[in-house]
Amino acid sequence: MSGTGTTVLGLEIPSSDPVFLSVVLVVHIPLGLACLAFGAMAMLSPKRRGRHSRFGAVYFGCLLALVASATFLSVLRWHENYHLFILGAASFGCAWFGRTALRQRWRSWVRLHIAGMGMSYILILIAFYVDNGRQLPLWRDLPPFMYWLIPLILGLPLIARSVLWHPLTHPRAT
């Protein structure tokens, strides 16, 4: 980035605007890390009321705030970041779908919940790698389309496995 960016902890941030930097460093990055952590904790928790529900609710709230900050940042640099806005909106849309399937107990709600929340998590990872992959060790040597493809290749089989084989997806459990 020719003179218009700022480097923080070895990562180049594409703006030196103080508002942009403040939102990125104080809001967006911590929310992204919280989403990744709480999403993983929800996925790895026993699927019942308690930890899974709490972690999932925190994930959903952090995701909502993350998408709001991504929207703000995208508006500031629309030409460069509109695709990140689309990924964020799609991620939140998937999470909303999965959460609504759970809350309203749609037919096959367990499978719909797993698919929606799982895709939401994958889309967050894609957005992160698309935005930062060229600066990360190992990732920087990959062609950019791999930033989109690798999270899908790794995540979709895990979602499919859960949708097909998780004990809660059997008819007697729904």
For residue 12, what are its two tokens? 């180049």
User: For residue 83, what pLDDT is reported?
Assistant: 96
The model's pLDDT over 54-91, given as tens digits with 9 standing for 90+, comes to 999 999 999 999 999 999 999 999 999 999 999 999 99
In 3D, which of 60, 42, 174, 57 has the Cα closest to residue 111? 174
Q: Highest-confidence range of 9-13, 78-82, 93-97, by mean pLDDT?
A: 93-97
pLDDT band of residue 16 (cuts 50, 70, 90) is confident
CA-to-CA distance for 90 and 71, rounded, in angstroms?
Answer: 12
| DSSP string across 92-145 | HHHHHHHHHHHHHT-TTHHHHHHHHHHHHHHHHHHHHHHHHGGGSTTGGGS-TH
Measured N-to-C along each axis, helices 109-132 and 51-76 cross at an angle, to the nearest 10 degrees, of 40
User: For residue 174, what pLDDT is reported?
Assistant: 46
pTM of the model: 0.90
For residue 3, what are its two tokens? 């003179």
pLDDT band of residue 172 (cuts 50, 70, 90) is low
